Amino acid sequence: MKNIISSTDLGRKEIEEIFSLASSIKKGKKVKAIRDKVVALAFFEPSTRTFTSFDVAAKRLGLQTTGFRSEHETSVAKEETFADTIRMLSSYADCLVIRHKFDGAAKFASQITNRPIINAGDGKREHPTQSLIDLYTVLNSFGKIDGLRYGIVGDLKYGRAVHSLLSMLTTFKPRHVHLISPRQLEMPKGFLKGLNYPYGETERLESVIGDVDVLYATRIQKERFPDEIEYNKVKESYRIDRDIVSRMKDKAIILHPLPRVTEISRDVDATEKAKYFEQAGNGVPIRMALYSKILGG
């Protein structure tokens, strides 16, 4: 394994190996330290959770980290091109973790440098390490990923975590996927063409809530909207509260890539269905497993 650019780059066997290694790490099994190597965390777009978990995962393995947390901290702010910034980082570090607002940035970076590239989220479509975390959390809850009924609710138009997850699910066999969103935020039609499993679209969460095993909620992301008027029309379209939870299957779970705003009520946190903090915690072992696969050989 050299790069992780897209959710569809990884085969089922590779994904299962990553999950298996992450489980060993979670159980406290010692993994081989990777010393004398440096990871550059190149976050051209701000992020808290992803940045921190990549940073912590590296340090737990003995790796050193360098980098930046926003474009303003780089020479890009001085009009240096993205390609030149990647070349510069490649001369300092052994692996580059890239977060960027533009689609295809990580793929382009992988063509600029021979150093391994890990896509920490770019553009509107790719966030493969988040998808690994999501499905790993599903696996830990149900013992399987195949055969389940998924409900994806919220911003299906701009949300990269959702697009990436739905792409990674094409490597598995979900029974059905409900795509739940206001019309303004529905899944782009071109994207739907790439799905190889049964799915349906609806605006009403209530109509499918009793059917799902995994409810994946997302934030309506203000920063992705072209203007505030459009954002205000849809910002509180869905709210998962105790009433919604009471209509879910007994063993169903709720995931969220976080941060949340108002889409999940705080009193849901205490229910057994709320798995989103466990999901966030899985960020470190999954990213440790990825570093081990890429740099530990």
Partner 1 sequence: MDDTIMINKIRHGTVIDHIPVRKALMIPRILRLTEGKDTIAILVNAKSRLMDRKDIVKIENRILKDSEVNMLSLIAPGATINMIKDYKVAEKKSAVIPQRIEGLLKCPNGHCITNHDPEALTVFDLVTKSPLEMRCGYCNVSIDESEALKQVSGE
Task: Let me know: does 258 contact 280? Beta carbons within 8 Å.
Answer: yes
Q: Using the rule CB under 8 A, which residue among 116, 123, 174, 285 binds partner 1? A: 123
Task: Let me know: does 272 contact 295? Beta carbons within 8 Å.
Answer: no
Count of residues touching partner 1 (by CB under 8 A): 17
Least Cα distance to 216 among 156, 272, 286 occurs for: 156
CB neighbourhood size of 293 (10 A): 17
Q: Using the rule CB under 8 A, which residue among 47, 52, 70, 104 binds partner 1? A: 104
Length of the chain equals 297
Cis peptide before 128 (omega within 30 of 0): no
Residue 97 sits in the site that holds partner 1 (CB under 8 A): no
Residue 99 sits in the site that holds partner 1 (CB under 8 A): no
Q: Using the rule CB under 8 A, which residue among 112, 135, 138, 245 binds partner 1? A: 112
Compare residues 61 and 105 and give the one whose CB is closer to partner 1.
105
- The pattern of x and - marking residues 41 through 80 that bind partner 1 according to CB under 8 A reads ----------------------------------------
Stretch near partner 1 under the rule CB under 8 A, chosen from 25-33, 81-89, 199-207, 255-263: 81-89
Would you give the distance in Å from CA 269 to the centre of its chain? 20
Residue 182 sits in the site that holds partner 1 (CB under 8 A): no
Quote the DSSP letter at residue 177.
E
| Cα–Cα distance measured from residue 289 to residue 99, given in angstroms and rounded to the nearest whole number | 19
Q: Using the rule CB under 8 A, which residue among 20, 66, 81, 196 binds partner 1? A: 81
Q: Using the rule CB under 8 A, which residue among 19, 43, 82, 238 binds partner 1? A: 82
Residue 196 sits in the site that holds partner 1 (CB under 8 A): no
Compare residues 113 and 265 and give the one whose CB is closer to partner 1.
113
Distance of closest approach, residue 44 Cβ to partner 1, in angstroms = 11
Q: Using the rule CB under 8 A, which residue among 99, 125, 127, 256 binds partner 1? A: 125
Residue 225 sits in the site that holds partner 1 (CB under 8 A): no
Query: What are the b/e assignments for 168-183, b being 16+ CB within 10 Å?
Result: bbebbebebbbbbbbe
| Phi then psi dihedrals of residue 281, to 5 deg | -65, -30
Stretch near partner 1 under the rule CB under 8 A, chosen from 10-18, 104-112, 250-258, 273-281: 104-112
Residue 115 sits in the site that holds partner 1 (CB under 8 A): no
DSSP string over 179-236: EE--GGGPPPHHHHTT--S-EEEES-GGGTGGG-SEEEE----GGGSS-HHHHHHHTT
**Residue ranges binding partner 1 (CB under 8 A):** 81-83, 100-105, 107-108, 112, 123-125, 190, 194
